[in-house]
Amino acid sequence: MSEAQLRAEIVAVAQAIDRAGFCPSKSGNVSARFGDGLLITPSGLPYAQTRPDDLIALSLDGTVLSGSRKPSSEWPFHTAIYRARPDAQAIVHTHSPRATALSCTRRGIPAFHYMIALCGGADIRCADYATFGSPELAANAVAALEGRKAVLLANHGVIALGGSLAGAHQIVAEVENLAGQYLDILAAGLAPVILDDQEMARVSARFAGYGKVG
């Protein structure tokens, strides 16, 4: 994929999550690996107005390589995840309503549904709280993402990573769906039946052969 194609795809994903209501008040951000660094959405620019030339190229230490705008304030966790996870080719961060609500309880999502396996393991963890844009938040996100493709950020939102932008987008949308289902169960005063690790392993093995894009 050329740089122009990658820039256009990043903007398309950012605009799609915005249309879905996942990015209130210009929140959220999208990035993808490019060369030895990454391309990331800018800070404070509404996604409907964002164009491919507005993206910023960063090195993995956060140095701006090109772009006239400021990178997203969350660039520290993007660069930290790419350094820690060679499998991550793209990252999507949202403040999607129901997953964010759940994150404010500082609880993750257990394996109440087999689609949890899409997110890389037997649960979706909730990372410890730290101030947005801080190195501490980056470290907490990396730790909670170990062996996973998605994580809730306490009192904040969601991070999803993927082997492609389409994969990360798919995962972040599924986290919102699962969070909504889980909250509905809890609101009904019910306790979900949790699938065991053996079943989740079987589901993960089946997903591997289903052409998932994550």
pLDDT > 90 fraction of the chain, expressed in percent and rounded: 96
Q: What is the model's pLDDT at position 140?
A: 98
Q: What is the model's pLDDT at position 168?
A: 98
From the list 9, 74, 174, 176, the catalytic residue is 74
Kindly state the tokens that stand for 69. 């705008």
The whole-model pTM stands at 0.96
Give helix 165-187 / helix 3-19 axis angle, nearest 10°.
20
Q: What is the model's pLDDT at position 214?
A: 62
Low-confidence ranges of the chain (pLDDT < 50): none
The count of other CB atoms within 10 Å of the CB of residue 197 is 12
Kindly list the distances between the CA atom of residue 6 and the CA atoms of 12, 49, 71, 176, 203, in Å, as whole numbers in the listed order. Answer: 10, 18, 17, 25, 31
> Is 74 tagged catalytic?
yes
Q: What is the model's pLDDT at position 211?
A: 57
Q: What would the pLDDT profile of 44-67 be if each residue is shown by its tens digit? A: 999 999 999 999 999 999 999 999
Tally of residues, the chain? 214
- The closest of 165, 175, 28, 172 to 89, measured between CA atoms, is 165
- Taking the CA atoms of the chain, what radius of gyration do you get in angstroms? 16
Q: What would the pLDDT profile of 173-195 be if each residue is shown by its tens digit? A: 999 999 999 999 999 999 999 99
- For all residues of the chain together, what is the average pLDDT? 96
Burial group, residue 211, by CB count within 10 angstroms (0-12, 13-18, 19+): exposed
Find out if CATH 3.40.225.10 is the number for domain 3-208: yes
